[in-house]
Structure 1
């Protein structure tokens, strides 16, 4: 059944991926009408999240943020599909880096990197970073239920020396890389909610006490990696710029969870600056009332 779904859906994805950007974004506008206006995909979750973290904003402002967010969400969905066939030169034109020298500096210091970012702006095309640096790239991800689509996503990332690994694979893979003397850069989108039963740390995020992922910090400390935050700014439709900020090159000098808290504050700043580009469809604050007393 998985293969049948794959062979039925894949041709449509491929056809979408070869659309010129003008038509791709026209299709995105149509998708917005379906997702937001017709089906109302997770509108209740998005509105509840926005009201929760921005109680001071008016109903009109909340609605404005929602509309812009859903337009951006549709763009990201289609940009992810576009990754199947987009050329390297086109991606480099559309996803740029303001201070790539920050990564080159750590390379000269022979430091592997834990690269932490939020579900903000766009993260679909950041793997083009691998064409500018010598670090081997890994991204921690959740395996897709359909094994054929999972392999497809892995192939797309692997074109640029970037490899997807699960949470369970992360430690053994990175320990082995360190044993071989490889420099690695390891991406974590670490701002979403873990299961309460697996939460080692609770933190104030957007004014609300929530459980947080701490795996990125734990790996940085275990393998003595530099920790770098990447901020993605939407310049205009279809164009993004990432900026790197080194949090520390000596993670073991920090008390446990301090690095995670610093990371969350950096994500917060992005959200406060332009909330419409955060991924509001996730139930980020669903465990807010379950903190252990």
Structure 2
């Protein structure tokens, strides 16, 4: 615990450094990884090759290098999240098509907000003050360390959010009144635990296990679903567009939302392939679906 506290104080001190300086450190890590370390190079390369079989080895290498630039920028942007001001994030994050949130509010429908691991998903938390809804709940997965779980919640709770651990979400939604006052923010392309794989779909040319907790909610309550399409405009600046996901019929059918989310996410990834988290072992359990 003592070492964790020391480390956290170091993180806070580094977080107060200006972003231009942190990006300089990001460049150093990028070149060190490119020339010497090779952190998860094989994983990233394999994921890219399997996802884009039509691309040449040269194109895969170019995407991989751009990805690692974005990845190391993300690390330092995450670090900056501890102390960055709401004013600065308003400048760095442009939120488009916010009318969808007003529309859901007027319909008195709580929102399930679906994003992918697209850089920089952590900065979306600054959306909360712009929403007509009273409560915004970033959803996170529990970590083993109580100390670091508190720090994760600290980041997610900034700007007026109330973070919820994933196992608390279902109870919270089912117990809440249908008044359109809440937004539940999922990073929804998580890999389910081996014991929780119950559904797979075709995603980026591969059979992919999918987390379906939010999909189950679509048939239990009259909720609105909103997709987050993120775009990195330039270093440290992002544009986010929001799209409502509608059912094909009067109501959502089982697995309709999870399929539509992955279709939208795949389009986002194909448009800007270097902005997704390729270092994650997304397909490590795909053989379970065979």
If the TM-score is normalised by the length of the shorter chain, which range does it land in?
over 0.9
1:210: which partner in 2?
A: 208
Native 8 Å contact 2:97 2:243 kept in 1:
no
1:7: which partner in 2?
A: 5
1:87: which partner in 2?
A: 85
1:158: which partner in 2?
A: 157
- What does 1:46-61 align with in structure 2 at a 5 Å threshold? 46-61=44-59
Native 8 Å contact 2:142 2:166 kept in 1:
no
Shift of residue 51, structure 1, vs aligned partner? 0.9
2:167: which partner in 1?
A: 168
Query: Which segment is superposed worse, 221-230 or 31-40?
Result: 31-40
Shift of residue 147, structure 1, vs aligned partner? 1.6
- What does 1:76-155 align with in structure 2 at a 5 Å threshold? 76-135=74-133, 136-155=135-154
Task: Name the Cα RMSD after superposition.
Answer: 1.9
Native 8 Å contact 2:106 2:180 kept in 1:
no
Native 8 Å contact 1:196 1:211 kept in 2:
no
Q: 1:219 to 1:37 in 2, by over 3 A?
A: farther
Q: TM-score, normalised by structure 1?
A: 0.92
Shift of residue 254, structure 1, vs aligned partner? 2.3
Q: Secondary structure at the match of 1:9?
A: helix
Shift of residue 21, structure 1, vs aligned partner? 1.6
Query: Which segment is superposed worse, 34-43 or 209-218?
Result: 34-43
Native 8 Å contact 2:111 2:180 kept in 1:
no
Q: TM-score, normalised by structure 2?
A: 0.93
* Structure 2 unaligned regions, length at least 5: none
Q: Secondary structure at the match of 1:260?
A: helix
Q: 1:36 to 1:4 in 2, by over 3 A?
A: farther
Q: 1:196 to 1:232 in 2, by over 3 A?
A: same
Native 8 Å contact 1:221 1:251 kept in 2:
no
Separation of aligned partners in 2, 1:228 and 1:170? 17
Q: Secondary structure at the match of 2:77?
A: helix
Query: Number of paired residues?
Result: 289
Native 8 Å contact 2:156 2:162 kept in 1:
yes
* Structure 1 unaligned regions, length at least 5: none
Separation of aligned partners in 1, 2:192 and 2:288? 12
Q: Secondary structure at the match of 2:289?
A: coil
